[in-house]
Amino acid sequence: MAMPLRQTVRVSTYLMQQKLLKRREKFPLIVELEPLFACNLACEGCGKIQHPAGVLKQRMPVAQAVGAVLESGAPMVSIAGGEPLMHPQIDEIVRQLVERRKYVFLCTNALLMRKKMDKFKPSPYFTFTVHIDGLRERHDASVAKDGTFDEAVEAIKEAKRRGFRVTTNSTFFNTDTPQTIIEVLDYLNDDLQVDEMMISPAFAYEKAPDQEHFLGVEQTRELFRKTFAGGNRRRWRLNHSPLFLDFLEGKVDFECTAWGIPNYSLFGWQRPCYLMSDGYVPTYRELIEKTDWSKYGRGRDPRCENCMAHCGYEPTAVLATMGSLKESIRAARETIAANRSH
């Protein structure tokens, strides 16, 4: 787990406060904030941008975006979309969240990143998270636009040169192989030297244009078991708990913790999670208290059957780590080792 030590301590303290002091049963680890749905790409596996033109033109006001994060109390926020850099006040949203010492991850396809970089300042609380699904041919095919990979690489290099923290987010499909995953993670880890990498099997969005290339559970386990063979997990700076990586390999199995990474968008708080939309509520409290969480998960909702995405299962892994001295020590050791190597 490659999370910086300062952030690790802050998040660990927050989790202990929720569980031990406040004794809250449900609380957010990180908020997925979508201040717009518009995007400058149309990725084949994306189910987030299929909205009427009037909705795609909307931009969330700064006060609303910041207020939602503060309402939840989460220590971290991932700003997605759509493409966040298309929001005219995205820099102000980031500035106000950083001012409140929230850890902000701005997710971007990087097409506008070099152009907009001057709007942001390097900070231990701010990270550019760049979408990279593979090396040049694979990534450009995934996002349906030639040249996107090369632009993302140049943006990452420029951001690193300026002192920004840069992580990547890679989604994998059944067209990927252990070798293609190893190649892109080696490149990101060793050549580009990004700070951290996040990985996830793709979720089968109902509205995604491409419905043929999503992974099933057994396919996912076999793919990552082979990818992680030979000690690769220890070489890469992966921004995941050891237990979540065990889960991807099939060494352990978990139930989804849908409430762990709640989603707030132009429509409000989304039920039940970032990936599925069963309606919206205006407040975080209503989301937590009035959602029937028992309806969701494998064996309960057919949409959940093949999901192994990090937004549902990483919170479960983190909570399981907290509840085990052995796993807590293991996670701490991996965090320290990753920080020493970078």
Provide DSSP, 297-311: STTT-GGGTT---HH
**Distance, CA of 254 to CA of 264 (rounded, Å):** 25
CATH number of the domain encompassing residue 225: 3.20.20.70
Residue 13: domain span: 5-340
Question: pTM above the 0.85 mark?
Answer: yes
Helices 90-99, 62-72: inter-axial angle, 10-degree rounding: 30
**Distance, CA of 19 to CA of 12 (rounded, Å):** 11
- Among residues 176, 175, 170, the alpha carbon closest in space to that of 152 is found at 170
The SS3 call for residue 32 is: strand
Q: How far is CA 12 from CA 17, 79, 136, in A?
A: 9, 21, 37
Number of domains in the chain: 1
The residue behind tokens 């493409």 is: 83
| Phi–psi pair at 304, nearest 5 degrees | -90, -10
pLDDT, tens digit only, all 342 positions of the chain: 557 878 888 988 998 899 887 788 999 999 999 999 999 987 776 766 778 999 999 999 999 999 999 999 999 999 998 999 999 999 999 999 999 999 999 999 999 999 999 999 999 999 999 999 999 999 999 899 999 999 999 999 999 999 999 999 999 988 999 999 999 999 999 999 999 999 999 886 555 454 566 788 999 999 999 999 988 888 999 999 999 999 999 999 999 999 999 999 999 999 999 889 999 999 999 999 999 999 999 999 999 999 999 899 999 999 999 888 888 888 878 777 766 666
Q: Which residues contact 274 (CB under 8 A, 6 or more apart)?
A: 32, 261, 262, 263, 311
